[in-house]
Amino acid sequence: MKKFTCVQDIGDLKIALDEAFEIKKDRFKYVELGRNKTLLMIFFNSSLRTRLSTQKAATNLGMNVIVLDINQGAWKLETERGVIMDGDKPEHILEAIPVMGCYCDIIGVRAFAQFENREFDYQETIINQFIKYSGRPVFSMEAATRHPLQSFADLITIEEYKKTPRPKVVLTWAPHPKALPQAVPNSFAEWMNATDYDFVIAHPKGYELDPQFVGDAKVEYDQMKAFEGADFIYAKNWAAYSGHNYGKILSADREWTVSERQMAVTNNAYFMHCLPVRRNMIVTDEVIESPQSIVIPEAANREISATVVLKRLLEDLK
Ligand code: AN0
Ligand code: CP
């Protein structure tokens, strides 16, 4: 594997899952693979799980790790070409990226959507510059439109907990006080559409995701109807995608907060969320603390998805 930014990069999901379960049984099996190799993790945004699980994954493979928080101690980076740099940004990303490439073998990048310009975000301008100019294999630690390490961990988790070969999986929008990117729901939809699960997306009108991610999924505006008979509920907030509403909050309707009322009509569904989660906005205390909540094993699987991805990138290093 030369890069990891979307579901296509991982190839056959069955093979990827087999590899994940092999690594879960013995996470140090490939500890020799990363000897004297360096992972550089670049964060433009905050993180708890991605930072810790990816660093752990790298050490499982015997790698050295360097972490840089761009907003804490690095020079502020200009990202647009052609700008006269007389403002507050002392360095251009077009120098910074190849320099970063000099000090490592693999680069992970976290760069969220900025919600200023949909085209800039949806063209994946930042991570694509890393791919183009770093000279290193690059993987996404959540970019503007996708969070594939999360979706891979979600898939592993569903495979571990499912009781039928073709479970009903519902991605539901839930309210949140701040505008959040579409990366997690886009990516989750992309990965679910690559399986043969029964996949439904529920959200209020106006929250339609980019059709390229919705694919053939069923879209439901009635949350209770979507939840009927569900085996997995995957909650997430996102801001509007469409047109002039891009990046806006259109609803704060707490009727959409996942509670025992909606869970009661499911097939005793498991509750999932990528975390961090705002309790009693996205999900009630009762549901997230219930035995059906699998948010912690889901987070634990981030180490597994990251180990598989780094292993594959290491195997393809020249
Ligand atoms: C981020 C998001 O919604 O994309 C990261 C989730 C993994 N969440 C927040 O910023 C709260
Ligand atoms: N789920 C996830 O990516 O969490 P962090 O933002 O804490 O890394």
Same fold, 3-146+302-317 and 150-298: yes
Question: What whole-number percentage of the chain has pLDDT above 90?
Answer: 98
- What average pLDDT is seen over the chain? 98
Domain range annotation of the chain: 3-146+302-317, 150-298
Evaluate: CB of 63 within 6 angstroms of ligand 1.
no
Confidence of residue 288 (pLDDT cuts 50, 70, 90): very high
Confidence of residue 80 (pLDDT cuts 50, 70, 90): confident
Cα–Cα distances in angstroms (integers) from residue 123 to residues 31, 113, 146, 227, in the given order:
36, 10, 11, 33
150-298 maps to CATH 2.60.40.2140: no
CATH superfamily for domain 3-146+302-317: Aspartate/ornithine carbamoyltransferase (3.40.50.1370)
Distance 302 CA to ligand 2 centre (A): 9
What is the average pLDDT across 65-88? 95
Long-range interactions of 94-99: CB distance < 8 A, separation 24+ = 94/129, 94/133, 97/129, 97/130, 97/133, 97/134, 98/133, 98/134, 98/135
Pocket-testing residue among 151, 176, 182, 274, ligand 1, by greatest number of atoms within 8 A of Cβ: 274
Pocket-testing residue among 53, 140, 142, 156, ligand 2, by greatest number of atoms within 8 A of Cβ: 142
Cα–Cα distance for residue pair 24/8, rounded to 1 Å = 22
Q: Which residue has the tokens 């999924």?
A: 217
Q: Can you name the residues that pair with 64 across neighbouring β-strands?
A: 38
What is the average pLDDT across 26-32? 98
The predicted pLDDT at position 271 comes to 99
Evaluate: CB of 34 within 6 angstroms of ligand 1.
no
The predicted pLDDT at position 195 comes to 98
Evaluate: CB of 153 within 6 angstroms of ligand 1.
no
Q: Which residues line ligand 2 (CB under 6 A)?
A: 47-50, 142, 150, 274-276
Question: Atom 6 of ligand 2 has which residue's CA nearest to it?
Answer: 47
Distance 48 CA to ligand 2 centre (A): 5
User: Using one digit for the tens of pLDDT, what is the confidence trace for 106-165?
Assistant: 999 999 999 999 999 999 999 999 999 999 999 999 999 999 999 999 999 999 999 999
3-state SS, the chain, equals CCEECCHHHHCCHHHHHHHHHHHHHCCCCCCCCCCCCEEEEEECCCCCHHHHHHHHHHHHCCCEEEEEECCCCCCCEECCCCCCCCCCCCEEHHHHHHHHHHCCCEEEEECCCCCCCHHHHHCCHHHHHHHHHCCCCEEECCCCCCCHHHHHHHHHHHHHHCCCCCCEEEEEECCCCCCCCCHHHHHHHHHHHCCCCEEEEECCCCCCCCHHHHCCCEEECCHHHHHCCCCEEEEECCCCCCHHHCCCCCCCCHHHCECHHHHCCCCCCEEECCCCCCECCCECHHHHCCCCECHHHHHHHHHHHHHHHHHHHHHCCC
Pocket-testing residue among 42, 274, 294, 298, ligand 2, by greatest number of atoms within 8 A of Cβ: 274
pTM of the model: 0.98
* Backbone phi and psi for residue 54, each to the nearest 5 degrees, phi listed first: -75, -40
The predicted pLDDT at position 239 comes to 98
56, pLDDT greater than 90: yes
227 φψ region: left (φ > 0), alpha (ψ -120 to 50), beta (else) = alpha
Distance 85 CA to ligand 1 centre (A): 30
What is the average pLDDT across 291-299? 99
Cα–Cα distances in angstroms (integers) from residue 188 to residues 30, 31, 88, in the given order:
28, 30, 36
318, pLDDT greater than 90: no
Distance 197 CA to ligand 2 centre (A): 25
Residue 204 exposure: Cα atoms within 13 Å on the Cβ side: 15
Question: Atom 4 of ligand 2 has which residue's CA nearest to it?
Answer: 49
User: Using one digit for the tens of pLDDT, what is the confidence trace for 178-208?
Assistant: 999 999 999 999 999 999 999 999 999 999 9
Evaluate: CB of 274 within 6 angstroms of ligand 1.
yes
Q: Are strands 106-110 and 138-140 parallel, antiparallel or unpaired?
A: parallel
Q: Residue 55 CA: which ligand is closest?
A: 2
Atom of ligand 2 nearest to the CA of 45: 6
Cα–Cα distance for residue pair 7/148, rounded to 1 Å = 7
